[in-house]
Amino acid sequence: MTLRDRIAVVGVGTTAAGTMPGNDAYDLGLIAFKRALDDCGIKRTQIDGLIVNRIPDYQRFAEIAGMDPRFALVTPGQGRMSGNSIAIAANAINAGLAHTIALVYGNNGKSAGDQYGGETDRYGGGGIGPWFPYGMTSPGAAHAVMFQRHMHLYGTKSRDLAHVSVAFRKHALLNPDAVMKKPITIEDHQNSRFIAEPLHLFDYCLINDGSVALIVTTAERARDFPKPPVYVRGFGTATKLINSSLPPEDFWYEPMQKVAKQTFQMAGVKHDDLDGLMIYDNFSPTVLFSLEGFGFCKQGESGEFVQNGRLELGGEFPSNTDGGHLSNSYMQGWALNAEAVRQLRGECGARQIKDAKTIQYMCAAPLVSSVIYGTELQ
Amino acid sequence: MSAATYTKPLPKIDERTKPHWEGNAVHELRVQRCDDCGTTRFPASRWCAHCLSEKTSWQKVSGKGKVWSWCVFHRAYFKGFESDVPYAVALVELDEGPKMYSNLVGIPRDQIKIGMRVRAVFDKVTDDVTLVKFEEDK
């Protein structure tokens, strides 16, 4: 039995990205949760499932939020968990564990002083630790090592990444809630300082505070909500966890191919049916790896693929129209999923994708995930 | 140098990881080898991820391999590396299979190439710790 269109997103809440001192992850999550409730006009008592992410504990969050849901879960504070959490919610609703689930994400990384490198780096469950004596640390450096290899194998260039950064910055300038407010050029990208070479500053995501909440329910119930439902048309996950403290040999191509097959089949769509993409962009090379892994171009051809405005509004695959993690906000995939919903509702103003009907979210990581969203079928 | 004056991060040496560090001290690169299926692995782990056996021995390997990839840190996340930036970290693939992050010795950054042959050299950084690094294997 296909799960296509069995559940829908009915409520979305986000905060403007930036610095929000005085709020911990619970507080931030609650702010987005209240906005999501207002967005769909339901009461907390109508929600019988709760998944929190990056918020440390579901029990405390539910206590603060005054809720006794039937189903409650916390997922670890990793970006790859946004798509996975949405897949879990879809499966939980389909299995009858709950009929309406709130997914709540809160991130106070900026105010908490998160650095993502150094002695506190716990990447891979601490798998990175043995390399500290050699100065190796940070997800950014791991992606730099991967991109160096991609350059070697395929002739990809740093300048190719600049096209990604510039496209997403252009989109951020159309998003009043985005952190980054100044335009950048290809040359600005090339001249920005190196962090872990070959990656420049503008290849890195932001570190900021913020929160996102999504409310999902059955397709039947979704039709009674004030805003048009956005259906979860297809989703999938796969992993490459063996030896995952070190970079994968294939830039996660194999697990992405599996997820692409599963997600496209469930959704019943092809690449050309997609009106927009939301591509997990912790670092700009991840966008290139994703486009290859999900079959938008051949292996090794992503550097050329992202040129000529292909990912920009008005291009073939407008991507990360909110500015993404690079220029809107580092909401670990959640804001990209919220953006997909808003695009499909036609709520995006200056950055609206014209007649958007089908949008894909994808995340390349040791746990790959993807979700294809769609509007009411005509 | 004593550990008190060495400012870079030091490895956490315990019963499981000790044989590697004892090997470094006598200039032998040692990795784990599963007694049941023969799979080599590094860093140290209790279980063989290939066959789930707990039986393991430490084996001297050639110390030879090639640069799989690398990057250059322009930012120091560790205080002890502040005076080293920019510094290179290479991911070396040993001929016996395992990969390890390390530093390259005597290879200018503009001459680092993926695939270049390297061999282990040992750098005693404190009384108790000898790191394994790699130089070009011409």
pLDDT for B48-75, tens place per residue?
999 999 999 999 999 999 999 999 999 9
Query: How far off is chain A from B70, nearest CA to CA, in Å?
Result: 5
What confidence tens digit (pLDDT) does each residue in A7-52 have?
Answer: 999 999 999 888 999 999 999 999 999 999 999 999 999 999 999 9
Superfamily in which the A7-112+206-374 domain is placed by CATH: Thiolase/Chalcone synthase (3.40.47.10)
Residue A59 CB-density burial (10 A; 0-12 exposed, 13-18 middle, 19+ buried) = exposed
Chain A residues whose C-beta is within 8 A of a chain B C-beta are: 115, 117-119, 121, 129-138, 141, 144-146, 148-149, 152, 193-199, 242-243, 246-247
CB pair distance less than 8 Å for A148 and B71: yes
User: Using an 8 Å Cβ cutoff, are A192 and A201 in contact?
Assistant: yes
Residue B74 CB-density burial (10 A; 0-12 exposed, 13-18 middle, 19+ buried) = middle
Which of B101, B125, B133 has its CB closest to that of A131?
B101
- What's the rounded mean pLDDT across residues A305-325? 98
pLDDT category, A1, cuts 50, 70, 90? low
Phi, psi (rounded to 5 degrees) for A362: -150, 145
Q: What CA–CA distance (Å, rounded) separates A202 from A220? A: 44
User: What is the pLDDT, as a whole number, of residue B1?
Assistant: 67
Angle subtended by helix axes A284-293 and A158-172, to nearest 10: 100
User: Using an 8 Å Cβ cutoff, are A64 and A90 in contact?
Assistant: no
Q: Kindly tell me the sign of the dihedral angle through the C-alpha atoms of A343, A346, A348, A349.
A: positive
Query: What is the domain partition of chain A in residue ranges?
Result: 7-112+206-374
The chain A residue lying nearest B113, using CA atoms, is A152
Alpha helices in chain A (DSSP H): 25-40, 58-65, 81-94, 109-112, 139-154, 158-172, 186-191, 219-222, 253-267, 284-293, 302-305, 334-345
Give residues with Cβ within 8 angstroms of A4, minimum separation 6.
A233, A234, A266, A267, A268
Alpha helices in chain B (DSSP H): 18-25
Question: Poorest-confidence range of A122-126, A141-145, A266-270, A319-323?
Answer: A122-126
Active site members of A: 280, 330
Q: What CA–CA distance (Å, rounded) separates B127 from B26? A: 13
Q: What one-character DSSP code corresponds to residue A81?
A: H
Residues of A in contact with B73 (CB under 8 A): 135, 141, 196-197
User: CB of B89 within 8 Å of any CB in chain A?
Assistant: yes
Query: How far off is chain B from A173, nearest CA to CA, in Å?
Result: 28
User: What is the pLDDT, as a whole number, of residue A378?
Assistant: 56
| Three-state DSSP state, B8 | coil
